[in-house]
Structure 1
Amino acid sequence: MDDSTNIYMVKAAWYYYIVGYTQNDIASMLGLSRAKVVRLLDEAREQGVVQFTFRASDTSRMGLEQEFINRFGLDDIFIVPTSLDRATTEDSIARATSMYITSHLSDGAYLNMGYGAMMNRVLGYLSRGTCNNLSVISLTGGVNFYLQDIPPSVMSIRLNLLPCPILLSSKELRDAMVQEPSITSIAKMVGLASMSVVGIGGISDNATIQKNGMLTKSDFELLRMRGSVGDILCHFIDIDGNPIATDIESRIVSTSLSALEHMSNVVAAAGGDEKIRAIRAVLKHGYINTLITDERTAQKVIEEDDRLKEMVP
C-alpha cells in the first residue's frame, strides 16, 4: 500500500469511527467513491488500525507531522483530520488528546492541566476513560472552568484544583492569595506530574477568556495593540512567544511561563484559524514538547511560519 492510500485509510477510519460521519460524507470529503471508502474501512480493520485507539505508527504518516518535528523541535505531534464544522474538529482534537494522555500515562499517574474550553473537553473524555486513579492538578485558578464538562456520575479521575479565581482585582490581592496554604499545597503537586497538557488561546471574540467575561473586548483590543497574538495558561505572548507585560499579567493566578519552560513533557491541544499565530508563537518559543491539532490548522501554521520568515531581512 502506498503512502497516499494509507493516509486516506487512516482519515476514513477516523471520520467513520471517531467523528461519526457516514460513508457518503467521507466519500464526498475525500473525493472518493463510496465503494472505495468501504474498501478503506475494511483494510483499516484488517490491518488493526481500528482498535479503539489509533496506532502511533499510523497517525505519524498523516501529512505534516515530520515537518513540524523538524521545524519546531517537537518530540511528537498528533494531527487529526479537519471535520466539516468547527465544533466537530475541536471535539476530535479533545478526543485525540484524551487518547494520547491515556496511552502515555499509567494508572495512578499525575497530570497537570491548563485552562480553557479545550481543556474542559479533554477532562470530560478523561473522566470517562480507562486511565484509573488519574490525579489532575490545575495549573491555573478558576475552579468552575475545570468542572464544566465533567459528569460527576461517571468521573474516574481525582481533581486537585487551585481554590481561587483565575483573575483577581489587584496585584496585592493576587500576591496575598498565592501565599495561602490551600494554594501552595496544590502548587507543590505540579512537580509530581508525569505530563502537563495545556490549551492555546487566540485573540478573538471566540476566546474562552473573553466569552466567560473575565476580559472585555477593550482588554483584547489593548492586547492586540501591544502585539499579543494569543495566550498560553492565560499569559499573553507576542509573535515570538515572549510574555507581554500588562496589568492583567500581575493579577492572574497561573503557573508562570518560566516554570512551563522547565517542564519536561508538555502537550498542547489547539486548533482553529484564530489560533494560528498563537500556536506558531508557542512552537517558536519552545514551550511545548507535543502538539495535538487538526490538519487545516497545521497547514496554516506552516504557511504562517514561512510568511514570517520571508519578512525577515
Structure 2
Amino acid sequence: MYTQREMIRVAKLYYEKGLTQQEIAALENISRPTVSRILDAALQEGIVTFSIQYPIESVDDLEDELKKRFDLMKVIVAPVIIPEPSFILTDVGKLLGDYLHDLVADGDTIGISWGNSLTYAAKQLKQLKRKNVRVVQLNGGVATTAFSTGAMNILDQFAKAFDAQPYALSVPTILDSAEIASALLRDSGIREIVSLGREANIAVFGIGRTSYQSVLNLAGYFKQDEYDKLLQKGAVGDICSRFYSIDGNVSDEQLNDRTIGLHLDDLRRKKHTIAIACGEDKVPAILGAVRGNYFNTLFTDEVTARELIKQHDIAKTAEVQQK
C-alpha cells in the first residue's frame, strides 16, 4: 500500500526528528490517520524496530535465603516484572548471559545441555572474545520425531558468543537399548565428545520436569507406557536427559544405561555447575537436583524462589515430625 520510501520518510520525521503526526500530515499533505497507518506499516515491515533496554536487579534477600538453605556457591534471582513464562525466562536468561560474560576465560570448556530454558538463555548471550574456548553438548540432541530440540541452534549461539569451537553430540540422547548405547559409545568420535563434556570446567544446563509436555517426551524418546512407568518410579526431573527422584537419586537405572551423554555423578566434580530453572511446577525437580548435589549455581525467578523455600521448609518440618 505504501512505498518503502514513504515509510522510511514518515518514520524518520516521527521517530528521529520528533514531529507530531499532525505536523507530518501537514508537511506531507496527507491526513493524520494516514500518517498513523504508514507508521504501523513501517513497524510491520521491520523498517522500525524497538528494543527495551533495562537493567535487571536481582532479589538479594531471596538469593541469600536460597544460598543458606541449599549451601550453594551462587544464586541469582530475577524479579518477576510480567508474570508470563516468556518474559520471565528472558529476564533470567539475561542475568545468566551477564554472569557467563564475566565468568568465561581463555581456555575454558563449556558444556551445555538443551531445552526451553537454554533456548531463552542462548538468545541473551553477549559477544565476548576469548581464546581457545570450547563449547560441547553434554547430551545427544537428535530427536526421533519431527519435533525440534533446538540443540544445534543453542550450540551455535554459545559458540558464536564466546568465539569458541563447537562440538556437537549428534546422536539421540536415549536409545532403544543399553546395548545400542554401548555400541555407539565405542565409536571414537562419539567417545571423544562425551569425554570432552566430562572434562568441561563449566556446565550450563536446564532442569527439566517429568511431564507429558516435556521436551524429551515430545521429541519421541518414550513410548506412552514407558513414560508412565518412569513417573511411577518417582522421577521428578532430569538434567542432561538423566532422570532422578525427589531424593536426588537416579530413578531408573535401565533408562540411565540407554542414555548418551554426561552422567549426573560427573556434575559433582565440576568447578561451575550452573542450572537455570523457572516455574513453580519445576520446584520438585529443583529440590531433587539440590539433594543430588548436581549444581552449585542457580538462576531462577522470584516466584519460583519463594516456592522453593516454602516446599523446602515443609519437607524439613515433615522430617522432624517423623523422628
Q: 1:192 offset after TM fit, Å?
A: 4.5
Q: 1:246 offset after TM fit, Å?
A: 4.6
* 1:226 aligns to 2:243 (yes or no): no
1:47-66 equivalences in 2 (<5 Å): 59=58, 62-66=60-64
Q: 1:151 offset after TM fit, Å?
A: 6.7
**In structure 2, C-alpha distance between the alignment counterparts of 1:179 and 1:53, rounded to whole Å:** 48
**Is contact 1:205–1:217 with CA below 8 Å preserved after alignment?**
no
**In structure 1, C-alpha distance between the alignment counterparts of 2:186 and 2:54, rounded to whole Å:** 44
Alpha-carbon deviations, 1:268-293, whole Å to 9, x = none?
Answer: 01111221101011112211110000
Q: In terms of Rg, which structure is larger? A: 2
State TM-score, norm by structure 2: 0.72
Q: SS of the residue aligned with 1:63?
A: helix
1:140-179 equivalences in 2 (<5 Å): 140-143=139-142, 145-148=150-153, 150=156, 156-179=163-186
Q: SS of the residue aligned with 1:244?
A: coil
1:165-204 equivalences in 2 (<5 Å): 165-204=172-211
Cross-structure match for 2:49: none
**Is contact 2:141–2:151 with CA below 8 Å preserved after alignment?**
yes
Letter in 1 for 2:112: M
Cross-structure match for 2:298: 291
Cross-structure match for 1:208: 215
**In structure 2, C-alpha distance between the alignment counterparts of 1:119 and 1:304, rounded to whole Å:** 25
**In structure 1, C-alpha distance between the alignment counterparts of 2:185 and 2:55, rounded to whole Å:** 40
Q: SS of the residue aligned with 1:248?
A: helix
Cross-structure match for 1:311: 318
Counterpart of 1:261 (choices 268, 293, 296) is 268
1:83-102 equivalences in 2 (<5 Å): 83-102=82-101
**Is contact 1:136–1:158 with CA below 8 Å preserved after alignment?**
yes
Q: SS of the residue aligned with 1:111?
A: strand
Cross-structure match for 2:284: 277
Q: 1:191 offset after TM fit, Å?
A: 5.0
Letter in 1 for 2:70: F
**In structure 2, C-alpha distance between the alignment counterparts of 1:166 and 1:192, rounded to whole Å:** 19
Q: How many pairs were matched up?
A: 258
**In structure 2, C-alpha distance between the alignment counterparts of 1:102 and 1:192, rounded to whole Å:** 21
**Is contact 1:141–1:162 with CA below 8 Å preserved after alignment?**
yes
Unaligned runs of 5+ in 2: 1-52, 143-148
Q: SS of the residue aligned with 1:147?
A: helix
Alpha-carbon deviations, 1:68-119, whole Å to 9, x = none?
Answer: 1111110001101123211111222222222211111124532111232222
Letter in 1 for 2:310: E
Q: 1:120 offset after TM fit, Å?
A: 2.9
Q: SS of the residue aligned with 2:274?
A: strand
**In structure 1, C-alpha distance between the alignment counterparts of 2:129 and 2:203, rounded to whole Å:** 15
Counterpart of 2:257 (choices 250, 262, 269) is 250
**In structure 2, C-alpha distance between the alignment counterparts of 1:235 and 1:266, rounded to whole Å:** 15
Q: SS of the residue aligned with 2:165?
A: strand
**In structure 2, C-alpha distance between the alignment counterparts of 1:52 and 1:161, rounded to whole Å:** 34
**Is contact 1:203–1:274 with CA below 8 Å preserved after alignment?**
no
Same amino acid, percent of matched pairs: 25
The structure-2 alpha-carbon separation of the partners of 1:211 and 1:304, relative to structure 1 and needing over 3 Å to count, comes to same
Q: SS of the residue aligned with 2:153?
A: coil
Q: 1:307 offset after TM fit, Å?
A: 1.3
State TM-score, norm by structure 1: 0.74
Alpha-carbon deviations, 1:35-83, whole Å to 9, x = none?
Answer: xxxxxxxxxxxxxxxx9876xxx63x52311111111110001101123
Q: 1:205 offset after TM fit, Å?
A: 3.2
Q: SS of the residue aligned with 2:110?
A: strand
Q: SS of the residue aligned with 1:64?
A: helix
Q: SS of the residue aligned with 1:136?
A: strand
**In structure 1, C-alpha distance between the alignment counterparts of 2:281 and 2:307, rounded to whole Å:** 11
**In structure 2, C-alpha distance between the alignment counterparts of 1:272 and 1:218, rounded to whole Å:** 27
Cross-structure match for 2:68: 70
Q: 1:249 offset after TM fit, Å?
A: 1.8
Letter in 1 for 2:150: F
**In structure 2, C-alpha distance between the alignment counterparts of 1:92 and 1:217, rounded to whole Å:** 35
**In structure 1, C-alpha distance between the alignment counterparts of 2:165 and 2:55, rounded to whole Å:** 23
Alpha-carbon deviations, 1:156-215, whole Å to 9, x = none?
Answer: 443111232111121111001011110122223235433111111112233211222223
Cross-structure match for 2:109: 110
**In structure 2, C-alpha distance between the alignment counterparts of 1:259 and 1:200, rounded to whole Å:** 16
